[in-house]
Amino acid sequence: MSSAAEQLASNLNLSAFSKATELKKRIWFTLGALLVYRLGTYIPLPGINISALEQLFKQNQSGILGMMNMFAGGAVGRMAIFALNIMPYISASIIIQLMTTVSPHLEQLKKEGEQGRQQINQYTRYGTVVLAALQAYGIAVGLEGAGNIVTDPGWFFRMTAVITLVGGTVFLMWLGEQITARGIGNGISLIIFAGIVAELPSALVGTLELSRRGSLSAGLLIALILMVFLVIGFIVFMERAQRRLLIQYPKRQVGKKMFQGDSSHLPLKLNTAGVIPPIFASSLLLLPITVANFSSGGPEWLTNITAMLGRGQPLYLLTYVLMILFFAFFYTAIVFNPDETADNLKKYGGFVPGIRPGKRTAEYIDHVLTRITVAGAAYLALVCILPEFLISYAAVPFYFGGTSLLIVVSVTMDTVAQIQSHLLAHQYEGLIKKSKLKKGSRRR
């Protein structure tokens, strides 16, 4: 079976792609949905002075606003209807998943299968609306207090801003779900990916302009390019890294036939959590200071916390690393259940050599998974935090940051893998149809 799959994978070519009608429909749907998203990042909020907003953003784009603008695909700098992007949905997902560990009701829903997951998703949508409304109101108030950005401040502007920004987030949440169901790849990740890639050319031009002016030396520019390629190669290597546990299956008799014992492997990815921990960490860092970065006034303690959480500050770096480490373990525990895996192995007669089936196997898998997750979490923290020093002390555009590279590379690998799986399934279907036609012709 594996040799046949490898042979099919080696035969993937343009002719196979041209015959995969369903795959082409999914790709075109994904591209169309992302095009709609990009168009929305250029539609500004009503009642905004664009020139005054640009001046404010230029003064603050090197800080948290730059990070917000990256995830929003430039929508923050233009204060577009998609300025909140998909971040409230991610924050709501974090809160709901954390609550599943302490709420018996949510924990029970999680065990109920597809129907329970749908109910949890519905709670996540409600939470998204609440968080988006709070953030949108904070942005509206902050814009009013930031100078002459709002042409007609007051409750009418606040209400229209809240309705518009919340509506933009809800639309993106729906669009992401549609991409996941009817397109290729994970819709939420692809929306963030599209925003980063769309702003990448302007970041490259800005970097070259810094080099031309002498703000960025030629040696540092070459080192930056080399670092980008090295980080991309490191990400690809680590994302493909696995720990394979040997699984043995005993001899078994079915009817009068005796089947020999077989062996296979249980692959455990080094980074089971994927790109989720950096996105979660960035989202939570953005949440409490959305208002403070726009507002010129406010309590002194809030101003102090905002200053300490600025880009490149020790508290920001420490908090960022700790959040990445926490969410790497937390999300791995959510997506991979050692007890369930051990029960499935026991059900089908599989066992790890030298380990008793059942509870002992679950403990062994959990032990191995914990150890490799330590390496995976350290890799995520290293990739995301090292470029931060370069960004802080060399004024390099944020788009060369580790988080952005991690998202771009991981989402690209995941999308390509899904395209290959669709092509493999299409070729398998073609082989089955051909074999049925041959059998039919022989019978005739």
CA distance 173 to 177: 6
Q: What is the pLDDT of residue 6?
A: 44
Summarize pLDDT for 324-357 with one digit per residue, the tens: 999 899 888 888 888 888 888 888 778 888 888 8
Provide the pLDDT for residue 34.
Answer: 92
Name 364's Cβ contacts closer than 8 Å, sequence gap at least 6: 352, 355
10: confidence class by pLDDT, cuts 50, 70, 90: very low
Highest mean pLDDT among 50-54, 312-316, 362-366, 428-432: 362-366
Confidence of residue 15 (pLDDT cuts 50, 70, 90): low
Does position 210 have pLDDT exceeding 70, yes or no?
yes
Q: Is the pLDDT of residue 139 over 50?
A: yes
pLDDT attached to residue 379 = 92
Tokens of 88: 């409230």
* DSSP-based three-state secondary structure for 352: coil
Instruction: Quickly list DSSP for 70-115.
Output: HHTTTHHHHTBTTTTTTHHHHHHHHHHHHHTTT-HHHHHHHHTTHH
Cα–Cα–Cα angle for 418, 420, 426, rounded to 5 degrees: 105
Residue 159 has pLDDT above 70, yes or no: yes
Higher pLDDT, 334 or 64: 334
In the chain the first and final C-alpha atoms are separated, in Å, by 30
Q: Which residue has the higher pLDDT, 219 or 179?
A: 179
Among the ranges 263-272, 374-383, 411-420, which has the highest mean pLDDT value? 374-383
Where do the domains of the chain lie?
20-443
Residue 401: band (very low, low, confident or very high) from pLDDT cuts 50, 70, 90: low
Mean pLDDT over 69-79 rounds to: 76
Looking at residue 303, its pLDDT comes to 66
pLDDT of 371? 92
pLDDT at 311 over 50: yes
User: Which amino acid, 278?
Assistant: P
In percent, how much of the chain has pLDDT > 90? Answer: 13
Closest CA to 76 of 336, 293, 255, 275: 293
Q: Which residue has the higher pLDDT, 32 or 339?
A: 32
Whole-prediction pTM: 0.77
More confident residue, 315 or 129: 129
Q: Region 413-425: what's the mean pLDDT?
A: 81
Predicted local distance difference test score (pLDDT) of residue 302: 63
Give the per-residue pLDDT at 438: 63
In this structure, CATH architecture of domain 20-443 = Orthogonal Bundle (1.10)
Q: Which of 57, 50, 59 is nearest to 77 (CA)?
A: 57
pLDDT, position 30: 92
So what's the pLDDT on residue 125? Answer: 92
Return mean pLDDT, the chain: 79
pLDDT at res. 173:
92
Per the model's pLDDT, the better-predicted residue between 10 and 216 turns out to be: 216
Q: Rg of the chain over CA atoms, in angstroms?
A: 25
User: With bands split at pLDDT 50, 70 and 90, how would you rate the model's confidence at 374?
Assistant: very high
pLDDT at residue 33, as a whole number = 92
The percentage of residues in the chain with a pLDDT greater than 70, rounded to a whole number, is 77
Predicted pLDDT at 443: 58
Mean per-residue pLDDT, 118-145: 87
User: Is residue 400 a contact partner of residue 224, using CB atoms and an 8 Å limit?
Assistant: yes
Q: Which value, to the nearest 10 degrees, does the dihedral of the CA atoms of residues 381, 383, 388, 391 take?
A: -170
